[in-house]
A and B are shown apart, each in its own frame.
Chain A
Amino acid sequence: MNRLVSSCLLPILFAAAPLAASHTADPDLAGLLAGSDVVVLGTVHAVHGTRLDGELVTIATVTVEESLLGEPEPSLEVVVPGGFDLDRRVPIATVVSGQPQLASGERLIFFLVRIGDGRYALTLAETGALTVSPDADGAPLVGATPPLSVGELRNLISRLDDGR
């Protein structure tokens, strides 16, 4: 199973199993974890646009609730290519396929890779931000099928990390 992602990412590259094995690896979490330096549960505190090397990017400041992998930091900055520029007569949006546009207040599981200057990028682009949304009773669930509690995801990451 050599499923690759166009316009976004290629998680199977991290997780592909040879066909001689009895199974093929599903890329989702294992692939994300394999490519990540840090995994955190956090909330986007603020977002703002800027240019890095001439490219319009959005920088999300994330308040970390819990570090699921890597050294805990109280907050960190995530750089996402694309965004929008209002500081001009004609406002222009830049859309980069494979990159989610984050909004303040969003609670997410972030799979992150260090890119220098103390900043991070989403691992495997849009796959590196898992939605945390409330269930019918308001409990937080991580976007998966079936949805996971944060505790279940914590255990899963711990187990997968042991296997790395």
Chain B
Amino acid sequence: MKRRRAAWWAALPLLSVLLASPAAGGGYTEIFDITGRVPPPDGGAGFLARAVPIRWDARCMPVPIRINDTLDPIPNPLGADFLAVVEAADSLSESVATWSSVPGSFLRFELVGTSSNPGPGRLDFVNEVIFRAPTFVSAFARTITHALMEDTWLEDGEDLDGDGDVDVVAGLDRCRDVDGDGDHEMPAGFYRAGTILDADVELNVSDFRFTVSDAAVDTNPYSVDLQAILTHELGHVHGLAHSLTNQIGADDGRPATLFALLDSGDPADELAWRRLSLEDMASTAFHYPEGSAATGAAALEPGDIPFDELYGVIEGEVRHSRTGLPLAGGSVFAEDAVTGRRLGSAVSGTIVNVLGPASGQRRRLPPEDAILDGRYRLPVPLGRYRVGIEPIDPEPIPASFVNETAREGSVRGLMDFPEELYDRDGEGAMELSPGRGVPVPVQPSGDAARGVDLATEVQVRLAPFGVDDVFVSVDAPPGFYYAVRFPAAEIVEATGGGPFALVAGRFHTSLVDHSEVPVFAEALLTTGRLLTDGSAELDLDRSLRREAPFVGQDDDFASFFLQASAGLGDRVRELIAQGGVEQLFLVLRVPTTTPFPGVSGTPPLVASDRGAPGTRGRSYTSVDGEVFLPTVEDDFRFDLLLLTEDASDDE
């Protein structure tokens, strides 16, 4: 299907300029830019507004931060108060230092003192860390950011927050508190849409105890390390959005600091958030690149390392094959070609909405007009990478956790494709080996690796389950088997009796201790048959495909890519035709040895749908591999992906 490009914007020179600017890289918090106040193409009221990332202007380096001392000691909902603000300030200093020392980045924070605002974070040109009861929700913390919505000249003497005090001063070299009243003033001049004016962090002291020492990090989910939370929130303060990276690699289950979920019951997961992953650093350095200006904070000074010496950028465009639309809201990721460690991610696409004419009013355009492109820019440390695309679907976090572009893709129903890797010449909607990744070199020349374009897959999906209710089983013994049955008749029906390729099986896996990796002893695709007593007999010794060990994902579908998928499909089709195959089974086996890794000592888990009473009769377990008994209430979330000629014709 050919992409339909709306014609309206081509006739609008101002908007064309707007669209010509490069796509945002990484994953950044966004606001809508109404620069030019361009009317919408449908003739309705309001202004066309493009989602743009937020960031601090280089003139506001270092970003001044204050710690609010209204509540001192800091309330402890679990017992007696024990934490003084001065101790919390030490944790904040550590987080400030962490973000201020990212190699290749000119971002700097500075802890400049205390503040005494008893209310919520607000636009007052005081960047505060506040301890308070939450207004509506009970998260660990939230960050409130105020940013310009259009390119703006800020003029000498302006009072932007309406407090009677001047916020913009001519002749200033940088943001600072020139009149000594506690808020910072900004230099008069030109600022881009998305420029952050003020940011506050609110920490929830109604529901959580904040601790500051290594020894206090425990398994109580209501007790959490303050430095870990502050490091995450300071990521939001300078514009980073949530990352999907909750498992850096097969040998490292720790998350990126900007992953949305913290396992406060796992000390190792908690402490991991104090430090930055390479992905966090690359995203920040790309947003605040050292050496990107001749003067000011972004200019090179003695000891600075230019962005281009440490990082590169992978660029491309993503197409949503089923609809033919550019893909908004896909998560493009880069894994080191040798180690497999995930070192970068970005959200694809450029979108516009309509804002106004009154405050708060917002509406969406038809998808062909709202999604301008599927471009992405993915910053990574120099190296060689396998690049992939995954949907921002509810696993491991929904699109609404990320940014406006991700949510646009979700609202449009575009998050319906499986994870896959970039295959250069083999890239397309109907790949026989979507798990094959062609390495992309990222060189120290400063030039981007361009043209790394992806197309999402269009496959037949056999998924005998509903939404997940539970993860099972924390008391599975070593060597325990989970299996899901796919009847031959169902495969024939789904493929119309014609040729097909068996591309992948997928397992929704997870674990109790999120700093670990859910590693299983093996994954299998094999044949079997049903017995009259309702149990099943599986041929584990002569499986069709096997991967051992099998590395699962942390609350997400892990792909078991099937080698030589077309030949495998032909073989299975022949066997079915000959009556030699009644059932296919996807099998996952728990590790055979203990102790299982992690503080809880529990095995890796699989997701299960415990939907309506009873089951779909497809799921089985076995303690010995000999007898597979049907489950009583579980439908395990394993699915099978196939390619058919019909799907190919569609493409």
Contact = CB atoms under 8 A, between A and B. Distances in A.
B503 interface: no
A29 B466 CA distance: 12
A129 B407 CA distance: 11
Contact of B123 (A79, A92, A96, A106): A92
Nearest to A79: B136
Contacts of A101: 362, 404
Contact of A50 (B360, B364, B463, B473): B360
B125 to A, nearest CB: 12
A98 B137 contact: yes
B59 interface: no
Interface in B321-359: 322, 353, 355-359
B146 interface: yes
A4 B197 contact: no
B411 interface: yes
B260 interface: yes
Contacts, number: 274
Nearest to A146: B463
A156 B263 contact: no
Interface stretch (B373-381, B424-432, B602-610): B602-610
B135 A6 contact: no
A102 interface: yes
Contacts of B148: 90-93
A124 B134 CA distance: 12
Interface residues of A, number: 84
Interface in B380-402: 393-395, 398-401
Given A87-B359, A106-B364, A145-B395, A93 B221 contact: no
Interface string A1-35: 11111111110110011010111111011100000
Given A22-B472, A106-B364, A95 B31 contact: yes
A4 B514 CA distance: 11
B229 interface: yes
B122 A54 contact: yes
B410 interface: yes
Interface stretch (B99-107, B152-160, B276-284, B485-493): B152-160
* Chain A contact residues: helix, strand, loop or mixed: mixed
A58 B136 CA distance: 14
A135 interface: yes
Tell me whether chain B's interface is mostly helix, strand or loop, or mixed: loop
B4 interface: no
Contacts of B135: 55, 81
A143 B360 contact: no
Question: Which size bracket describes the interface of B in this complex?
Answer: 35 or more
A101 B263 CA distance: 27
Interface string A100-133: 1111111000000101000001101111010101
B141 interface: yes
B412 interface: yes
Given A86-B358, A95-B54, A145-B395, A23 B608 contact: yes
B140 A6 contact: yes
B363 A105 contact: yes
A94 B139 contact: no
A133 B320 CA distance: 15
B347 to A, nearest CB: 15
Nearest to A59: B360
B242 A7 contact: yes
Contacts of A129: 400
Interface in B195-235: 197, 207, 219, 221, 224, 229, 232-233
Contact of A22 (B158, B266, B475): B475
B31 A93 contact: yes
B221 A4 contact: yes
A19 B601 CA distance: 10
B120 A55 contact: yes
Most chain B beta carbons < 10 A, residue from A26, A29, A59: A26
Nearest to A159: B612
B550 interface: no
Given A92-B123, A93-B31, A19 B360 contact: no
Contacts of B233: 6-7, 97
B149 interface: yes
24 contacts: A1-B471, A1-B510, A1-B511, A2-B219, A4-B224, A6-B140, A7-B139, A7-B232, A25-B470, A26-B470, A26-B607, A47-B360, A53-B120, A55-B120, A90-B160, A92-B160, A93-B32, A93-B146, A93-B147, A122-B137, A126-B400, A127-B398, A136-B322, A159-B611
The list of the 9 closest CB pairs from A to B, nearest first, reads A49-B360, A2-B265, A133-B413, A49-B359, A2-B221, A93-B31, A91-B149, A126-B400, A104-B363
Interface of A: 1-10, 12-13, 16-17, 19, 21-26, 28-30, 46-50, 53-55, 58-59, 79, 81-87, 89-98, 100-106, 113, 115, 121-122, 124-127, 129, 131, 133-136, 141, 143-148, 152, 155-156, 159
Interface of B: 29, 31-32, 34, 54, 119-120, 122-123, 135-150, 152, 154, 158, 160, 197, 207, 219, 221, 224, 229, 232-233, 236, 242, 260-266, 322, 353, 355-364, 393-395, 398-401, 404, 407, 410-413, 415-416, 463, 465-475, 508, 510-512, 514, 555, 557, 600, 602, 605, 607-608, 611-612
Given A3-B263, A7-B236, A47-B361, 20 more contacts: A4-B224, A7-B141, A10-B140, A23-B473, A29-B469, A55-B122, A89-B158, A93-B149, A98-B139, A100-B407, A103-B363, A104-B361, A104-B362, A115-B136, A121-B136, A131-B400, A135-B413, A143-B398, A146-B465, A148-B467
